Chain A
Amino acid sequence: MSQNAKLQNTLQTTKPKNSFNVTLYLLIIPVLLWLVLLIVLPHLDLLVSSFEIENDDGEMVFSLANYIAFFKEEIYWLTFVKTAAYAIGVTALAFIITFPVAFYLTKVISKKNAAFFILLLLIPLWVGELVTVYGWMVLLGDHGIINHFLMAIGIVDEPINMLYTDFSMIIGLLYMSMLFMVVPVMSTLESLDDSLIEAASDLGASKWTIFRTIIIPYSMPGIVSGAIIVFMLVIGDYLAPNILGGKSSLWFTEQIYNKFLTTFNWNEGAAFGFLLLMLSSGIIWLALKFSGQKLDRVGS
């Protein structure tokens, strides 16, 4: 390379190289602010706070006391385990209940007819949890609508105790979360080619075999996405357990709520919060790992 050409080259690298970088900074700065200030730092603070207690001088010092409190007090870890177990159970129930409906809307009836039912599905989703939880409270109470009808027809003389039990809590949890299972399952079923089912049937497969060997494996990505969202919503829900659940149906989020807003022991609350976060991300991680799915698929 000649001297001149070399010089030219160095000149060019110092030229405003390209506008691509400007755009990158313009885009990345607001996103960084969002993620660092509202996601990363708060969760770091959660972690740090969970390892701190106030000593006698009013200073914050490192300690495992918050976690020890959790394991020592039976009610805490029992609630924790119960919350996890119920959340898994509700997720499974949500799948069992909604899958036939998702299948019906995508494969059994025509697209035009399905549109109306899909609209119906969306309304409770948009109305919000509080209103629907309140609706169940009105229905299930001792003086609620269901008991009123049961007694009016004479099936029972005394109201059945449904509200403030695990039963009403599970109804509430199911109701507010199951539609998040329907939507992703429907979108995978929509892309399932009818001729696969026809071919299987043509080859002599029974309904159950088709269901087990074709439909379920095909819709697995949608099921996993739905299950993750349902699980996350249920495990982190506060309203349904609090309003519909009884004194005995403690939910772990209620423990966190009490620590923060009733007893004002924020550090112990932080430890509980962190445990819940570990539980939910751990189970979601397992689900993703065993299904080989990516996190961003869950959102779509």
Chain B
Amino acid sequence: MIRSLPNTTAYTITYRIYVGLFFLFLVIPLIAISVLAFNDSNYIALPWNGFTLDWFFSATDEREGLFADSNLLESINTSLTTALIVATMSTVIGTIAALLFEEEQFRLKGLLYFLALTPLVIPGVILGISILLSSTYAGNLIEKNFGVDIELFRPSYWLVIFGQFSFGATYVMLLVAARLKKFDRSLEEAALSLKATRVQAIWYITIPFLRPAIIGAFIVAFLLSFSNINTTIFLVGSDPTLPIDLYSRIRFSSTPVLNAISFLIVLIITLFALVNFFIKRKSDD
């Protein structure tokens, strides 16, 4: 059953086949889209017509490759900047929240902590419509009273950022708090005893200790933002993020350029995961 207990061969082989099938199930859609990104065909389907890089580089009317498609490049750019801003905001606020809930005592702490956790269990769609409703309400109120139309309150770039940040901060908080639980409180007390103020103690001692978790949380928040669609779809304005752009293309006008961009995402994530894997392995040795 486990490493140290003997098993029948049939059991071992069946088990291995099962796990093998599971991983096949896991990678097959990624392989399928990647392969079709290089198929010399105008349709996203087999048969294999030979290898081409048209869906990346071609700039003809018939085949507009990924790097010639200004709309697509634009939405990639939007997604990247959005994800950077969201990750930064989430990391700052999420870390502050982790410090607050792990280190301070105050009234209503339990309630606030509960609220901070709720984005874990609120479906992203609901977060999206709630923020859409309330920001529209606020926008209308301001317009009626002051006669100004603030773009932030309409579906827009910044509304997407706030929507994604609203749950990103929760994930950062949990990741940072997990490391903070391992923090030796006497280090902070030592800093206080050495005449640091509390803010200095946090800045010079606690934050450096948390650095690995903070970096990890930043990456998680970035990826959450980059791939989000459930919340974004309700808040997006005139500049779509990449997932929104791809979504409308899948629904209305699929070409293999979708495979090209998907392949790029898979490639980058895989490379990133491999680098992470080898760094980890090295530090373990």
Using known A-B contacts A131-B265, A145-B46, determine if residue A296 contacts B198 with beta carbons closer than 8 Å.
Answer: no
The distance in angstroms between the C-alpha atoms of A239 and B227, with both chains bound, is 12
Stretch at the interface among B53-61, B128-136, B143-151: B128-136
Residue of A28, A34, A260 most packed against chain B (CB within 10 A) = A34
Q: Is the CB of A295 within 8 A of B121?
A: yes
Within 8 A of B (CB), among A227-268: 228-229, 232, 235-239, 242-243, 253, 256-257, 260-261, 266
User: Do most interface residues of chain B lie in helix, strand or loop, or is the interface mixed?
Assistant: helix
With A35-B115, A143-B43 given, is the CB distance from A273 to B202 under 8 Å? no
Q: How far is the CA of A169 from the CA of B124 in the complex (A)?
A: 19
Bound-complex Cα distance A130 to B247 (A): 7
Is A115 a contact partner of B123 (Cβ separation < 8 A)? no
Q: Which of A116, A239, A266, A276 contacts B126 (CB 8 A)?
A: A276
Q: With A237-B230, A295-B120, A296-B117 as given contacts, are A256 and B125 in contact (CB-CB < 8 Å)?
A: yes
User: In the complex, how many angstroms separate the beta carbon of B1 from the nearest chain A beta carbon?
Assistant: 5
Tell me whether A137 is interfacial, beta carbon within 8 Å. Answer: yes
Instruction: Find chain B residues with CB under 8 A from A75 CB.
Output: none
Q: Does B246 sit at the interface, judged by CB under 8 A?
A: yes
- A45 interface neighbour in B26, B113, B137, B277, Cβ under 8 Å: B137
Residue interface bits B89-124, CB-to-A below 8 A is 1, else 0: 000110011011000101000001111111111111
* The one of A119, A124, A239 that contacts B229, using a Cβ cutoff of 8 Å: A239
Q: Which residues of B contact A292 (CB under 8 A)?
A: none
Q: What sequence of 0s and 1s flags, for each residue 53-83 of chain A, a beta carbon within 8 Å of any chain B beta carbon? A: 0000000000000000000000000000000
- Which of A35, A38, A40, A46 has a CB less than 8 Å from the CB of B133? A46
Task: Tell me the smallest distance from the CB of B193 to a CB of chain A, in Å.
Answer: 14
B283 at the interface (CB under 8 A from A): no
Q: Does B18 contact A (CB under 8 A)?
A: yes
Closest A residue by C-beta to B243: A130
B218 within 8 A of A: no
A117 to B27, CA, bound (A): 11
Q: Is B210 an interface residue (CB 8 A)?
A: no
Closest to A111 in B: B284
Chain A 102-134 interface 0/1 with B at a Cβ cutoff of 8 Å (1 = within): 001001111000011101111110111111101
Inter-chain contact A138/B199, CB cutoff 8 Å: no
User: Is there an interface contact between B273 and A126, defined as CB atoms closer than 8 Å?
Assistant: yes
Q: Quick check: A124 and B26 within 8 Å, CB to CB?
A: yes
Give the residue of A23, A115, A141, A253 whose beta carbon is less than 8 angstroms from that of B125: A253
B194 within 8 A of A: no
Pick the residue among B132, B162, B165, B258 that contacts A260 (CB under 8 A): B132
Q: Give which listed residue, B104, B115, B227, B250, contacts A243 with CB less than 8 A.
A: B250
Write out the residue numbers on chain B whose beta carbons fall within 8 Å of the beta carbon of A175. Answer: 25-26, 29
Report Cα–Cα, A238/B251, bound state, in Å: 13
CA separation between A132 and B212, bound complex, in Å? 29
Q: State the total of A-B contacts with C-beta under 8 angstroms.
A: 271
Given A22, A239, A269, A295, which contacts B117 in the complex, CB threshold below 8 Å? A295
**Contact size range, B:** 35 or more
Task: State the Cβ distance, B28 to closest chain A Cβ, in Å.
Answer: 7
In the complex, the answer to whether B121 meets A148 with C-beta atoms within 8 Å is: no
**Docked pose: A48 CA to B226 CA in angstroms:** 31
A276-B125 in contact (CB<8A): yes
Name the contact of B131 in the complex, choosing from A42, A130, A141, A295 (C-beta under 8 A): A42
Q: A24-B106, A34-B97, A128-B243 are in contact. Are A299 and B15 (CB under 8 A)?
A: no
Which of B137, B223, B230 is the most central at the interface, judged by chain A CB atoms within 10 Å of its CB? B230
* A281 and B29 contacting across the interface, CB-CB below 8 Å: no
**Cβ–Cβ contact A45 & B15, under 8 A:** no
Do the beta carbons of A136 and B269 come within 8 Å of each other? no
In the assembly, what is the distance between CA of A242 and CA of B248, in Å? 11
A107 adjacent to B199 (CB under 8 Å): no
* In the complex with contacts A141-B45, A236-B125, A280-B123, A136-B29 CB distance below 8 A: yes
Assuming A120-B23, A135-B262, A300-B178, is B29 touching A236 (CB within 8 A)?
no
A128 CA to B265 CA, complexed, in Å: 9
- Assembly CA distance A143 to B18 (angstroms): 28
A26 interface residue (CB < 8 Å to B): yes
- With an 8 A cutoff between CB atoms, is A291 at the interface? no
Contact with A along B35-53 (1 / 0, CB 8 A): 0100000011111000000
Instruction: Collect the chain A residues with CB atoms within 8 Å of residue B273's CB.
Output: 119, 122-123, 126
Among B4, B19, B97, B100, point to the contact of A194 (Cβ < 8 A): B4
A-B contact list, 13 entries, CB within 8 Å: A19-B199, A22-B198, A38-B163, A38-B165, A44-B134, A101-B19, A119-B273, A123-B30, A127-B30, A131-B30, A135-B32, A139-B29, A197-B2
| Chain B contact residues, CB within 8 Å of chain A | 1-5, 15, 18-19, 22-23, 25-30, 32-33, 36, 43-47, 92-93, 96-97, 99-100, 104, 106, 112-127, 129-135, 137, 162-163, 165-166, 169-171, 174, 178, 197-199, 202, 223, 226-227, 229-230, 233-234, 243, 246-247, 250-251, 258-259, 262, 265-266, 269-270, 272-274, 277, 280-281
